[in-house]
Structure 1
Amino acid sequence: MNIKEHIRKKTRAVWHWVKTNKIKSGIAVVLLAGYYFCLPRTLFSEPYSTVIESTEGNLLGARIAADGQWRFPAQDSVPYKFRQCIVYFEDQHFYKHPGFNPVAIAKAMKQNHDAGHVVRGGSTLTQQVIRLSREHQKRSYFEKFIEIILATRLEFRHSKDEILGLYAAHAPYGGNVVGLQMASWRYFGVQPHQLSWAETATLAVLPNAPSLIFPGKNQKLLRAKRDRLLKKLYDEKVIDKTTYELSLQEDLPQKPFDLPQAAPHLLQRIAKKQDGQRIRTTVKSALQNRVNQIAARYYQEYRQTEVYNIAILVVDVKTRNVLAYVGNAPTDKAHQKDVDIIPAPRSTGSILKPLLFGSMLDAGELLPNTLVADVPTQIAGYSPKNYELTYDGAVPAQKALSRSLNIPAVLMLKDYGVYRFYDKLQDFKLSNINKSPNHYGLSLILGGAESNLWDLCRTYSGLTSTLNYFTASQAKYRSDEFTDLNYDSTVQRTFGSETWQKPVIGAGAIWCTYNSMKEVNRPEGDEAWKFYDSSLEIAWKTGTSFGSRDAWVIGTNSRYVVGVWVGNATGEGRPSLTGVGSAAPILFDVFNLLPRQKWFAPPYNDLQEAEICATSGHLAGEHCPVSKQWIPISGSKTKPCPYHKTVQLDPTGQYRVNSSCEAIDNMVTQTWFVLPPVMEWYYKNLHMDYRPLPPYKPGCEGTAGTYMDFIYPKENGKVYLTRNFAGEVQPVIFKAAHTNPKAKLFWYLGNEYLGETQTFHEMQVRAGTGNYYLTITDESGNEAKRFIKIEAPE
């Protein structure tokens, strides 16, 4: 008879018995079903502590469970030493019995009967797991029977090692300490797998009598129990003689240890979404500890100036993994130590300027060195000021960025458009910039909006990754380059599919922007960084909000992004607080902890070498001095230089002439760099090589073009009268500029003649409230006019 035939025969026999014994079969089915479902699907319903670990598996911190117990989630495996200790101490036949040990139960019942009270328990480790899960049940023989039934069922559901894991996670260790891992940290300050044999033996005997673990008490009893277990391990050849003798010499724990709290604010962030779970994060333990030390050192320094809060975020651009997360300085409760600054919205200051610069480069509306105006400006009643309250007249765009000049940034935003820039910021997923563009206006580029360190680091990570991928993949992009940052090591970010379509800004514009950001003035003590081969090459930008409330800095190289915020969580400003003075030193200290990276490779597929006007930074015109420069391909759409023109001079070169006053053969044709009057007035004071246009030779007829302009006021501007301390209304001072330093200007307010000025064109005016036309004329009849509204003080 073959095997198949034998199986069929047995099956038929079973079915025959079932049919002929229906009542017995029904009872058997009910009993089997009851046995199968008697064990709850979730054995332990108690809440767990939230636990976070570093990417290497080191404990970063934990948060007490909701019921006030320190109970860590069960681990996948139990350390070898604890497995040996607990089995030999509690249940030597653990790997052989089906969940209960009849021999041990019989011996325990006899000894307890003879003694008249309980002197020995006969429970296996499996039964103890059941008892721990039913901790509120009254102890009785019936309960013992229930435990035996459930223990056998548990043996069917879980492996022996899994059962040990449940025991290790829920065994009582005195007070509110539950489970091996918490006990290991509490009593010895290390992880379970780092315990010695003596330490492991101590923790193996404690669940049997958790009250023994009380600092300074019960030491003899606890030592005796531990040493008996060590002797048993030695007798069973689990440990050798040397290990045994050395273990006997080890001291018992004397005082509880504090849990590591290397990333308390990351723990707080994770607990909001993953409470009661064990999360292995992407944080690198050594880096986190070093960054914590940097934050603590600067906190001790800054607190002397009443600045109490610091946040630092370090991101791996390649993976978007968070490598270090410092949500706040080690301050106190009075200064908001529990507030996580990283996701908190704060005024951006100048930190958004590179995004505008890059957007204009990408749109073909700017080149890196294009001259932009830096003059007193009033736009619809809004008057931006540079931090140092000075004016350059005209400044190359990338110098305006590296020096963080406010007026050029506002004028650039005006040209680019607030609505367009707002849409770009939405593409960068800056979630806190969520009001209408009209709400922000031009102040959007100077800190009128709020953002947070998490979003800003994500944005710069996306830009860096866009550039890296483009140069590494033959001019391709990825569709989801600005994906969110990640702190969970079990999660792997994806970046979408390959595409020829740029995600937000093209690689060429990013590369030019980063080259400009590399030139930002370094913090005090690192001004000569360019002269050292070992200097850090990073693209970085600072920001200081209005009232010195927030100091920002974001920096990136080809692999890492570091973001730093310094200030007070309460929003109080401090005069000493600036991005370059307060946040930047922290940034460079953090970058010094990271591996050095090569500078970004040029994305040649999105660049072109163009002829640029060496003076104005525009595309070279017909009369420009030319230099070669790599610019984004879109830069070819920009206008050629408007500032170089040809002029006709007399043979001496001292006067401009035309055919009405000079023979054509005597005229000398020359190229001249000419700025608009207001820009020129400030520019020439900082550039000694700038040559204003010569005046026209006496007798020459008419001049073409405009050669003068108002510095103050601006068109349709409001002029507010002020009072001095005596309450007297003060005069208004109007200013103008003329290309001819010897020119005379004649001033009129409405139909009233005010007077004339020469060389320095400033006119002091006393006028009542109302609407006026302010007019200036020169000796050649050129005229400039402004409509103004003068309002009196309240």
Structure 2
Amino acid sequence: MRRWARRMVACTAGVLLLAVVLDRVFPLPLPDPTTGSTVVLARDGTPLRAFPDESGLWRYPVTPEDVSPLYLDALLTYEDRWFHHHPGVNPGSMLRAVGQAIWHRRTISGGSTLSMQVARILEPHSRTPWGKVHQMLRALQLEAHLDKRQILGLYLTYAPFGGTIQGVEAASWAYLGKSARHLSHAEAALLAVLPQSPSRLRPDRHAARAQVARDKVLRRMATLGRWSEAVTRDAMLENVAARALEPPMQAALLAERLAQAAPQRRVIATTIDRELQAAMETRVSTYLGRLPERTSAAVLVVDNSTLETLAYVGSGAFGDPTRLGHVDMIQAVRSPGSTLKPFLYALAIEDGLIHSESLLIDAPQAFGDYRPGNFDLAFNGPVAAADALRLSLNVPAVDLLDRVGPSRFAARLSHAGANLQFPRGADPNLALILGGTGTRLEDLVGAYAAFNRRGLAGAVRYTIDTPLVERRLMDEGAAWIVRDILEANGQPGVQRETFDPGRRARMAWKTGTSFGYRDAWAIGSTRAYTVGVWIGRPDGTPMPGQYGAITALPLLLQANDSLPRRAADATPPVPPPNVAQVDICWPLGLPLDPARPQLCHKKRTAWILDGATPPTLPERDAAQWSSPLLNVRVDARTNQRLTGDCRAPRETLRAIARWPALAQPWLDADLRRRSSLPPRRAGCVDDGLEQTLSLRIDGVRDGATLMRAPGSATAPRLALRALGVQGRVRWLVDGRLAADLDSAKPFEHEYTASGEHTVTALAAGGSYARVDFLVSQ
């Protein structure tokens, strides 16, 4: 008895030793996780896009937790009810299969367990008795190395479903157009049976056969009591329809970008919100129908709290060659137009150069050889900083950049992640604030998020494992002030005082248009999200008449309507501690002084930073005015100005607030009177405070009426001359720049519109003249 026992122990030990040796000599052929197809997932784990492996196979790695419980129930009940109890081989099933084969003289069932099927998938073998033995040994080996969940995961990922499709998730998207997480009873039964004969049962080719096989599974589920008769009866009513294979194709350009950046990664988990992505793609596709041919568009939506990307539409129509749909415009370098202006105003506020209502001058100016003009060629004269930003006026922005410094401004943006690109060898210059540089939509969005992130900008994140990188772009208070300015832009169709956060989140937005109508931009930021929109042609050809406000802004507002509402959107704006409101006065820009009301020509309520109230910026040409605030002695009886040694029996000291010289042509008579000097008393020496106004316009009388000649189809035409000055003279017609001529040349212009007209001549030295006349047709 002992001898027999010793022999049994020795035999068992020998078998185990042999098993260990065979296991080492013939290791499991597990798939290499670094090879195969790549799948890019949304934040909820559903595939956005997959890329086949070198063999052209489509496969989405999944785990049992990633698929519907209905599918697992149907699979295990139909294929291997004892999966969780056998060691890889089920002797009962094998004996039953052999008995059925002998009785029916043909194979009725294979007796293979799910573990054996996985073994055959990983290492195909011949359908011979030896092949079956090989399959069983591999199944036992699988069970020795992996747990049941891992084995089931291999089946879910690598099971054949016809053609180049492997795994239940790929099959679900290809045949059903949905994730395997969301299967009905009928769909679960269909996918459970397909691997038995994937080519013969392919529903896209043999729908009738597939339905018969599916119904067999449903009847089995009812017979075994897993599903009720009512459920299976209803499931059988669903038809299996033949349909073209439709793999998921959302955020296609982002998926391609991430797959190329990490070619060794098989699963890439993004931050994309699948439902929002679908909504944005639909918005863009629909919107492009109203735009010119060959137009593309890009939309990027970012969560302000985390800088995670929720929607990424890189082109207007992916795969459309007429729109160059393969070009990802989110990472393309394009001219930003005026979209950089908010950062400049924030930096100027932070530097203490301006407050929100500082007096700026929108008038023709020369900055060396650079003479910027506005988009509509009109000028507005004196404007508040907030209005200059909202109206996107060019001259005030260039003036501010000249004072801040273009190199410093570009460096601040670059430090925060918004890199500006210039031609090789070129330095930042004043033209950059009007779009004379290049940047990316993703960089702009990361920077605009700073307005709702307490001044912190950062790199936009695309994957779950990308770390948050943020840097300070502007002071928190400056960011709050500029955001308030941009929010006051309002939104078409929504009155600010009746704003409903449940309908549309309040958005601080800015548009931009590059030179030649090549790029139309609209960037906006709510409390919760930042959205960037670009529209144009990827090849850089112009789109005449298409610009930010009419082309990109409507799509931005539609995107805002699609965003989920958050509590942050309804939060009332509360300024940070270093921001306050004060009443300031033009033209000095200083707080209202009740003791000297004559200095306050216009009162405005301004946001100030750190308690500082910067005065109106000094004029660029200091020779034009000696000081914006003058204190002059005046003869109290005659109201004449006293200079030098001149004396009067009764004198008074009068304070006079002077408007900048460039603002003078836009001032009305009362403002000009209040800022003008009292006349100098005869005999007093010249104090150099009087402005030289020698320029006058010759060729039409002020207040004249022009009429078309009787019987003539030609509109009235004038040839005007600027007398009393030398050099360049800029001519404005109704506030719009019409010509920049040498003073010796006449200004000729035709007046086709009836009504009142104003012609203004501006000399380089600051002198000006204007005439008003009426045109009657």
TM-score band by shorter chain is 0.7 to 0.9
Q: Which one of 113, 132, 139 corresponds to residue 121 of structure 2?
A: 132
Q: Displacement, 1:414? A: 1.0
Task: Determine helix, strand or coil for the equivalent of 1:152.
Answer: helix
Structure 1 185/217 Cα, relative in aligned 2: closer, same or farther at 3 Å? closer
Partner of 1:3: none
Q: Which one of 569, 573, 576 corresponds to residue 603 of structure 1?
A: 576
2:488 equivalent to 1:515: no
Q: Which one of 640, 644, 659 corresponds to residue 629 of structure 2?
A: 644
**8 A contact 1:312–1:325 mirrored in 2:** yes
Letter in 2 for 1:95: H
Partner of 1:391: 379
Q: Displacement, 1:679? A: 3.6
Question: What is the CA deviation profile of residues 150-170 of structure 1, one whole-angstrom value per residue up to 9, with x for unaligned ones?
Answer: 211211222223312211221
Partner of 1:530: 496
Q: Displacement, 1:375? A: 2.8
Structure 1 218/340 Cα, relative in aligned 2: closer, same or farther at 3 Å? closer
Q: Displacement, 1:26? A: 10
Question: What is the CA deviation profile of residues 197-232 of structure 1, one whole-angstrom value per residue up to 9, with x for unaligned ones?
Answer: 232222222211112234586555444433333222
**8 A contact 2:316–2:323 mirrored in 1:** no
2:237 equivalent to 1:268: no
Counterpart-to-counterpart distance in 2, 1:698 and 1:592: 70
Structure 1 612/711 Cα, relative in aligned 2: closer, same or farther at 3 Å? farther
Partner of 1:567: 536
Partner of 1:309: 296
Partner of 2:758: none
After superposition, where does 1:573-652 map in structure 2 within 5 Å? 573-594=542-563, 595=565, 596-604=569-577, 606-607=578-579, 612-618=584-590, 624-625=599-600, 629-633=606-610, 635=612, 643-647=628-632
2:151 equivalent to 1:163: yes
Counterpart-to-counterpart distance in 1, 2:62 and 2:499: 51
Structure 1 165/197 Cα, relative in aligned 2: closer, same or farther at 3 Å? same
Partner of 1:183: 171
Task: Determine helix, strand or coil for the equivalent of 2:311.
Answer: strand
**8 A contact 1:511–1:602 mirrored in 2:** yes
Gaps of 5+ in 2: 1-5, 619-626, 697-718, 729-739, 747-763, 768-777
Letter in 2 for 1:701: V
Q: Displacement, 1:634? A: 7.2
2:661 equivalent to 1:677: yes
Counterpart-to-counterpart distance in 2, 1:628 and 1:103: 89
Task: Determine helix, strand or coil for the equivalent of 1:554.
Answer: strand
Q: Displacement, 1:49? A: 4.2
Task: Determine helix, strand or coil for the equivalent of 1:311.
Answer: strand
Counterpart-to-counterpart distance in 2, 1:515 and 1:435: 35
Counterpart-to-counterpart distance in 2, 1:449 and 1:102: 75
Counterpart-to-counterpart distance in 2, 1:176 and 1:263: 23
Question: What is the CA deviation profile of residues 139-188 of structure 1, one whole-angstrom value per residue up to 9, with x for unaligned ones?
Answer: 44444333322211211222223312211221111122221112222222
Structure 1 607/190 Cα, relative in aligned 2: closer, same or farther at 3 Å? closer
Task: Determine helix, strand or coil for the equivalent of 1:460.
Answer: helix
**8 A contact 2:49–2:255 mirrored in 1:** yes
**8 A contact 1:320–1:493 mirrored in 2:** yes
Structure 1 291/618 Cα, relative in aligned 2: closer, same or farther at 3 Å? farther
2:295 equivalent to 1:295: no
Partner of 1:704: 688
**8 A contact 2:372–2:395 mirrored in 1:** yes
Q: Displacement, 1:101? A: 2.8
Structure 1 670/88 Cα, relative in aligned 2: closer, same or farther at 3 Å? same
Partner of 1:282: 271
Question: What is the CA deviation profile of residues 43-74 of structure 1, one whole-angstrom value per residue up to 9, with x for unaligned ones?
Answer: 35695444344434454444444432221112
Counterpart-to-counterpart distance in 2, 1:669 and 1:695: 14
**8 A contact 1:377–1:384 mirrored in 2:** yes
Structure 1 195/263 Cα, relative in aligned 2: closer, same or farther at 3 Å? same
2:436 equivalent to 1:448: yes
2:469 equivalent to 1:503: no
Partner of 1:12: none
Counterpart-to-counterpart distance in 2, 1:683 and 1:233: 88
Q: Which one of 463, 470, 489 corresponds to residue 488 of structure 1?
A: 463
Counterpart-to-counterpart distance in 2, 1:691 and 1:122: 103
2:111 equivalent to 1:122: yes
Q: CA RMSD in A?
A: 4.1
**8 A contact 2:161–2:195 mirrored in 1:** yes
Gaps of 5+ in 1: 1-15, 468-480, 496-501, 713-731, 736-743, 750-760, 768-782, 787-794
Partner of 1:476: none
Counterpart-to-counterpart distance in 1, 2:514 and 2:469: 34
Q: Displacement, 1:557? A: 2.5
Counterpart-to-counterpart distance in 1, 2:725 and 2:231: 103
Counterpart-to-counterpart distance in 2, 1:456 and 1:265: 19
Q: Displacement, 1:350? A: 0.8
**8 A contact 2:358–2:615 mirrored in 1:** no
**8 A contact 2:450–2:479 mirrored in 1:** no
Counterpart-to-counterpart distance in 2, 1:76 and 1:624: 78
Counterpart-to-counterpart distance in 2, 1:426 and 1:466: 18
**8 A contact 1:556–1:562 mirrored in 2:** yes
Counterpart-to-counterpart distance in 2, 1:156 and 1:384: 77
**8 A contact 2:68–2:183 mirrored in 1:** no
Counterpart-to-counterpart distance in 1, 2:340 and 2:328: 22
Partner of 1:205: 193
2:23 equivalent to 1:51: no
Letter in 2 for 1:230: L
2:315 equivalent to 1:328: yes
The number of equivalent residue pairs is: 689
**8 A contact 1:364–1:638 mirrored in 2:** no
What percentage of residue pairs aligned between the two structures are identical? 27
Counterpart-to-counterpart distance in 2, 1:206 and 1:89: 12
**8 A contact 2:677–2:690 mirrored in 1:** no
Counterpart-to-counterpart distance in 2, 1:330 and 1:89: 43
Question: What is the CA deviation profile of residues 451-491 of structure 1, one whole-angstrom value per residue up to 9, with x for unaligned ones?
Answer: 11111111122342125xxxxxxxxxxxxx43322233456
Q: Which one of 106, 119, 141 corresponds to residue 153 of structure 1?
A: 141
Residues 170-179 or 266-275, more deviating:
266-275
Structure 1 47/313 Cα, relative in aligned 2: closer, same or farther at 3 Å? same
Letter in 2 for 1:156: A
Partner of 1:376: 364
Structure 1 314/373 Cα, relative in aligned 2: closer, same or farther at 3 Å? same
**8 A contact 2:357–2:607 mirrored in 1:** no
Structure 1 55/658 Cα, relative in aligned 2: closer, same or farther at 3 Å? same
Counterpart-to-counterpart distance in 1, 2:693 and 2:331: 47
Task: Determine helix, strand or coil for the equivalent of 1:440.
Answer: coil
Q: With the length of structure 1 as denominator, give the TM-score of the two structures.
A: 0.76
Task: Determine helix, strand or coil for the equivalent of 1:635.
Answer: coil
Partner of 2:702: none
2:414 equivalent to 1:426: yes
Partner of 2:222: 234
Structure 1 351/666 Cα, relative in aligned 2: closer, same or farther at 3 Å? same
Structure 1 189/391 Cα, relative in aligned 2: closer, same or farther at 3 Å? closer
**8 A contact 2:47–2:248 mirrored in 1:** yes
Structure 1 44/429 Cα, relative in aligned 2: closer, same or farther at 3 Å? closer
Q: Displacement, 1:348? A: 1.0
Structure 1 54/28 Cα, relative in aligned 2: closer, same or farther at 3 Å? closer
Structure 1 272/346 Cα, relative in aligned 2: closer, same or farther at 3 Å? same
**8 A contact 1:306–1:574 mirrored in 2:** no
